[in-house]
Amino acid sequence: MDDLVFFYPEGHEKHYEVGHPERPERVESIRTALEAKEYWDRYPHLEQLPISDEVMHPIHTPDYLLALEEVCKKGIHFDADTYTTPESWELAHNSAGGAISVARSVWKGEAKRGFSLNRPPGHHATPNRAMGFCLLNNVALAAQYLINVGANRIAIIDLDLHHGNGTQDIFYSREDVFYLSTHQYPHYPGSGWLNETGEGPGQMKTANIPLPPFSGDNAFFIVMNEIILPLMDRIKPEMILVSYGFDPHFADPLGNLQLTGDGYGRLIESLVSWADENCNGRISLFLEGGYDLGAAKECTLAVVAALLGEKSSQTAASIAENGEPTTFYSILEQVKLIWELQ
Ligand SMILES: [Zn+2]
C-alpha cells in the first residue's frame, strides 16, 4: 500500500483568465513546494477516471451540463466571477475524474491517504449552476462514486474560508453524505448559517460552523475538538473527504480567518488520528480555494506532513496573541445547542 497518492491536473494552465485570482500559479506553487520537500516524486500520481452518468447525474443535472458545455465552447463567463475557456469543459472533467481516482484508491486500500490537486475547484458548483470559480463539484462527485461502489456513510469536511454552498445543496436532503463546513461568516456566498442542518432524510446531516473574522488557530482547535470530532463519533463515516482550501490562512487576500500553516497541519492531524482509529485511516484532501501563493506552500507542506503522520518541521508563523473574538464563543454555544453537544 502506498502511504500517499497525488492527482495533478495535467493541462490545467489552459483554464485561466488574466488577472483572475483563481490562476494556474496556485497549483504550480503547491507542486514546487512538494518537489522541494521531495514529496512529489516519492508517491504515485494517479490518472483521472472517466465519470459515468451514474456518478454525474445525482450531482449535476443534464440541463446544467449542456449549458456548461455551451458556455465553455464559447469561452465566456458563467457569471460575473466564474470564467471559462474552450478547454475548461475537458479540464473540469479531468479535475473531477482525478478526485474520483484519489478517493477510489484510498477507499480500496491501494493507498493510505490521498491528496488531489483539483483545478478548476468545485465546492461552490451546485446541481444546476457554476459559481464562485467552480464548474463541476469535484468532492461531491468523489463522494457519489464511493456511494455507488458500496459506501454507506461518507463525511465531507470543508475547511475552505468560504461556505461550500454547492456541496451543501447537493447533499442537503440525503442521509448518506454528511457535510460539515467551517467558514468565515458573513462572507461569500452568503449561505452556511448554523441553522442550515439538512432536510427530509438529510435532517441533521449538514453542519455549519460560521466563524467570525479573526477567529485564529485556537478557535479552529476548539471547533475541531468540541464540534467536529464529536460529530464524527456520532456519524461514523467510512471515509473522510476534506475540501481543502488554503484561504483561511492569515495571508489570504480574500479573507480574515487568521489560521496559520502550522494550525492547518494540526487540524488535519486531528482528522487523520480520528480516521486511523475509526475508518481504517481513510482520508483524502481535495483542493478548493486559496489565493496567496506563500500560504499555498506553507499550508500544503503542513497538511501533507499531517497526512503522512510526520510532525511538521515548520515553525508556526506567529500572529498576534489576540485571543478569539467574543462572538466566536456565542457561535460555539449555539452550534453546541443545535447539535446537543453540551
Ligand atoms: Zn474559498
pLDDT computed for residue 99 by the predictor? 99
Residue 324 confidence (pLDDT): 83
Q: Which positions are catalytic?
A: 124
Distance (angstroms) between ligand 1 centre and the Cα of 166 equals 12
For strands 45-46 and 154-158, give the pairing: unpaired
> What residues have a C-beta under 5 A from ligand 1, the ion?
160-162, 245, 247, 289
Alpha-carbon span 342 to 338, nearest angstrom? 10
Whole-number pLDDT of residue 93? 98
**Residue 332: closest CA among 238, 235, 194:** 194
Q: Which CATH architecture has domain 2-313+321-338?
A: 3-Layer(aba) Sandwich (3.40)
CA of 139 to the centre of ligand 1 (A): 14
CB distance 92 to 177 below 8 Å: no
Q: How far is the CA of 42 from the centre of ligand 1 (A)?
A: 29
Give percent of the chain above pLDDT 90: 95
What is this structure's pTM?
Answer: 0.97
pLDDT score, position 314: 52
Residue 282: predicted pLDDT? 98
Query: How far does the centroid of ligand 1 lie from the alpha carbon of residue 188, in Å?
Result: 9
Cα of 32 to ligand 1 centre, how many Å? Answer: 21
- Kindly give the interhelix angle for 62-74 and 88-107, rounded to the nearest 10 degrees: 130
C-alpha 134 to ligand 1 mean position (Å): 10
Report how far ligand 1's centroid is from the alpha carbon of 98 (Å): 20
Amino acid 311: pLDDT? 75
* Per-residue confidence (pLDDT) for residue 312, from 0 to 100: 62
Q: Are 270 and 242 in contact (CB under 8 A)?
A: no
Residue 110 alpha carbon to ligand 1 centre in Å: 30
- The residues of the chain scoring below 50 in pLDDT are 317-318
pLDDT at 322: 63
How many Cα atoms occupy the beta-carbon half-sphere of 62 within 13 Å? 3
Handedness of CA 285, 160, 198, 67 (dihedral sign): negative
